[in-house]
Amino acid sequence: MSNNGNNGALTRRRKSSIAVEDVPDPQVPERAQRRTFTAKYKLAILEEYERAERTERGAILRRENLYSSLLTEWRQQRDRGALEALSSRRGPKPGKPAAQAAEAEIARLRAELDTAREVIRVQGELSALLERLSADSAAMAESDSGH
Amino acid at 3: N
Separation of alpha carbons 89 and 93, rounded Å = 9
Say if residue 115 is in the same domain as residue 138: yes
74 by Cβ neighbours in 10 Å (0-12 / 13-18 / 19+) ranks as: buried
pLDDT tens readout for residues 33-74: 788 888 889 989 999 999 999 999 999 999 999 999 999 988
Separation of alpha carbons 115 and 82, rounded Å = 49
Residue 40, domain member (yes or no): yes
Q: Which domain holds residue 141?
A: 96-147
Share of the chain above pLDDT 70, in %: 69
Q: What is the number of domains present in the chain?
A: 2
Say whether pTM exceeds 0.85.
Answer: no
